Amino acid sequence: MRIMNFRRFARQISFACFAAFLIEGLNPQAAKAEWFPSLYAGRAASATWTLAPGNYTLEASTFLNLGDINVEIYDPTGRMFARGTQLGGEVIHFSVPQGGEGNFQVRYNMNLCANPMGACMVEINIRRR
Domains of the chain: 31-128 (2.60.120.380)
Query: In this structure, which amino acid lies at residue 77?
Result: T
Digit-by-digit pLDDT tens for the chain (129 residues) are 455 566 666 566 655 444 444 444 444 445 555 567 788 889 999 999 999 999 999 999 887 777 889 999 999 999 999 999 888 889 999 999 999 999 999 999 988 888 888 888 888 999 998
Closest CA to 88 of 56, 58, 110, 119: 110
Closest CA to 56 of 82, 20, 88, 21: 82
Phi, psi of 30 (to 5 degrees): -85, 90
pTM equals: 0.69
| DSSP class of 49 | E
Query: Under DSSP, is residue 103 helix (H, G, I), strand (E, B) or coil?
Result: strand
